[in-house]
Structures are given as C-alpha cells and as structure tokens.
C-alpha cells in the first residue's frame, strides 16, 4: 500500500481466474495452499491464459519440493518462503515489475522492427520492380543523382535477392519515394498497392 501500485485481491483461485476481469494484471502473488486448487495449479493456468503476467508464489518450507515442478516449467517466476520479510517482498515485486516492463518494451520494439522491415522490403521491392520508371522519377525530383542511380543499378545487377532486400533503397528514404510518386502522378496521397496495380504492360 505504500508503493505506487494499483492492486486487486481475489478471495479464491476461481475468482482470480474470472474471465470478466476488466484489467489485466502485470503481476500476481499467490499462496500455495488453497482450497479449490494449489497455487502451482493456479499459476500454471495463469501462464496459459495470460503468459505476460509475472507469477510469484508464497509457500512454506515444507512445500518447496511440491512446487519445484511449476518453477522448472516457468509457471512460477519466483517463490518466497513464509514468513517473508516485507522489505524483501517489496524489492521482489519491484524487480518483477521492472522485468514485466522490459518484456513489454522488448515486444513493442520487436513489433516496430518487424513493421519497419516489412515496409523497407516493400519499398525495396517497389524500387527494384519499377527501377526503370521510379529511378528517373527520383532523379527528376532531385531525390537522388543520376550517378547514384547508375551506381545502384550496377550494384543491383550483381546482387542476389537476399542482398537486395537487406541493402534497402540506399540513397533515399521511404517518405521521399512516396513524395516523388505523389508529385509525378499529381496525387495528394500515393497508395503503393494502387501504384503496383497500375504497372504498365
């Protein structure tokens, strides 16, 4: 209560697993010995339903061997033996929530990287597929020089497909390509899918 955390409590494992909860929990702390199911069973179920939730178990010394299976399976992030020290528990929660934040940030960055890779691949494919048309457009718009275009085409003729995608556009940016297409076709907005579909025969 002294920390800046929002908290919820559940009187039973069944209540903790209620699918109608509006707010997802970043971290759950469960006792091991409960009436409806053990803490290990609960945290296994939590992992199955909400794998991002950090899971902590409170247990007595006598129950440690009983929960090691759940620990080894990754269902339990950490277990704390009773009686616990409040300062240690507070530190454990703080570290666990930092871990949660890092996992979420890592996931976000991976999604951004994936989106950027797909965009880059799309634009690279567009440049290569329409290099006879798009290259002169970019030169005319002064986004690249004729020397850069010639160098790009010479390099392209030597590169295989995997190198093509990884090399990217080289001398200009995605926004400049879109801008060049907009100016060339007198469009307020250039949809690259539409540009692809209007390829001259």
Spell out the domain ranges in the chain.
13-84, 113-197
The predicted pLDDT at position 19 comes to: 66
Contact 23, 44 (CB under 8 A): no
CATH of 13-84 given 3.40.50.2300, 3.40.50.1820, 1.20.1090.10, 3.30.70.1560? 3.40.50.2300
The model's pTM? 0.54
Contact 15, 41 (CB under 8 A): no
The predicted pLDDT at position 52 comes to: 87
The predicted pLDDT at position 7 comes to: 83
The structure tokens 């247990």 sit at 59
The predicted pLDDT at position 20 comes to: 58
Q: For each of the chain's 201 residues, which pLDDT tens digit applies?
A: 677 788 888 888 888 887 656 666 889 998 888 888 888 888 888 888 888 889 998 888 767 777 777 777 777 888 888 888 888 888 899 999 998 888 889 888 888 888 877 777 766 665 565 556 777 888 888 888 888 878 877 777 766 543 433 333 566 776 777 777 777 766 554 444 544 444 444
The predicted pLDDT at position 161 comes to: 44
96-102-108-113 Cα dihedral, nearest 10 degrees: -150
What does 6-27 look like in DSSP terms, one character per residue?
Answer: -----SSHHHHT-TT-SS--SE
The predicted pLDDT at position 79 comes to: 84
How far apart are the C-alpha atoms of 131 and 153, rounded to whole Å? 8
């Amino acid at each position: 209560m002294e920390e800046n955390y929002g908290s919820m409590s559940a009187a039973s494992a069944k209540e903790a697993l209620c699918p109608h909860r509006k707010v997802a929990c970043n971290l759950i702390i469960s006792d091991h010995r409960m009436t409806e199911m053990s803490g290990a069973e609960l945290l296994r179920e939590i992992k199955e339903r909400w794998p991002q939730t950090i899971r902590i178990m409170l247990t007595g010394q006598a129950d440690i061997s009983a929960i090691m299976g759940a620990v080894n399976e990754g269902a339990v992030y950490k277990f704390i033996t009773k009686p616990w020290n409040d300062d240690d528990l507070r530190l454990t929660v703080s570290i666990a929530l930092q871990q949660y934040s890092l996992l979420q940030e890592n996931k976000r960055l991976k999604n951004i990287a994936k989106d950027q890779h797909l965009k880059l691949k799309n634009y690279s494919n567009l440049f290569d597929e329409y290099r006879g048309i798009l290259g002169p457009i970019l030169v005319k718009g002064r986004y690249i020089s004729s020397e850069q275009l010639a160098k790009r085409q010479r390099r392209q003729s030597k590169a295989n497909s995997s190198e093509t995608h990884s090399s990217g556009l080289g001398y200009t940016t995605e926004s400049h390509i879109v801008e060049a297409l907009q100016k060339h076709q007198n469009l307020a907005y250039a949809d690259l899918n539409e540009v692809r579909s209007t390829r001259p025969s």
